[in-house]
Amino acid sequence: MKKIFLKLIKTLLLVGIIACSEETSFSRPKVLPNNHDLISITETFVQEEITKEVDIIWVIDNSSSMKNEQIALAKNFSDFIDLFLENKIDFNMGITTTDTTGRGSKTPENGEFVGRSPIITSQMPSSMIKTTFMTNILVGTDGSGRERGLEGALLATQNSFNLNSVNYSFLRENANLVIIFVSDENDISPESTLFYIETLQALKPNSNMVTFCSIIDTRTESFVDPFTYPIELESYYATQWNNPGGKRYINASQATSGIIEDIHSDFAKSLINIGNKVITLVNSFTLSNKPVQDSITVKINNTPVARAVNKESSVSWYYDVIKNAVVFGTESIPAKNDLIEISYTKLQSKK
Measured between alpha carbons, how far is 286 from 176 in angstroms, rounded to an integer? Answer: 14
**Quick one: pLDDT at residue 23?**
38
Instruction: Tell me if 334 sits within 8 A of 298, measured CB to CB.
Output: no
Distances (CA, A) of 25 to 3, 247, 248, 298: 26, 23, 23, 19
Burial of 38: CB neighbours in 10 Å, binned 0-12, 13-18, 19+: middle
Q: How confident is the model at residue 165 (pLDDT cuts 50, 70, 90)?
A: very high
CA atoms within 13 A on the CB side of 238: 5
Write out pLDDT tens, residues 116-149. Answer: 999 999 999 999 999 999 999 999 999 988 899 9
Instruction: Tell me if 54 sits within 8 A of 211, measured CB to CB.
Output: no
Write out pLDDT tens, residues 193-222. Answer: 999 999 999 999 888 899 999 999 887 666
**Quick one: pLDDT at residue 1?**
42
**Quick one: pLDDT at residue 282?**
78
DSSP E strands in 47-83: the ranges are 53-60
Q: How confident is the model at residue 6 (pLDDT cuts 50, 70, 90)?
A: very low
Bridge partner residues of 212 (DSSP): 179
Percent of the chain predicted with pLDDT > 70: 83
**∠ at Cα 96 (95, 97), nearest 5°?**
135
Measured between alpha carbons, how far is 329 from 315 in angstroms, rounded to an integer? Answer: 5
pTM of the model: 0.83
**Quick one: pLDDT at residue 234?**
60
Write out pLDDT tens, residues 10-69. Answer: 554 455 545 443 333 445 555 556 666 789 999 999 887 555 799 999 999 999 889 999
What is residue 112's DSSP assignment? Answer: P
Domain spans, the chain: 2-49+285-349, 53-280
Q: DSSP letter string over 269-289?
A: HHHHHHHHHHHHHTTEEE-SS
The yes or no reply on domain 53-280 and CATH 3.40.50.170 is: no
Closest CA to 59 of 191, 213, 251, 174: 213
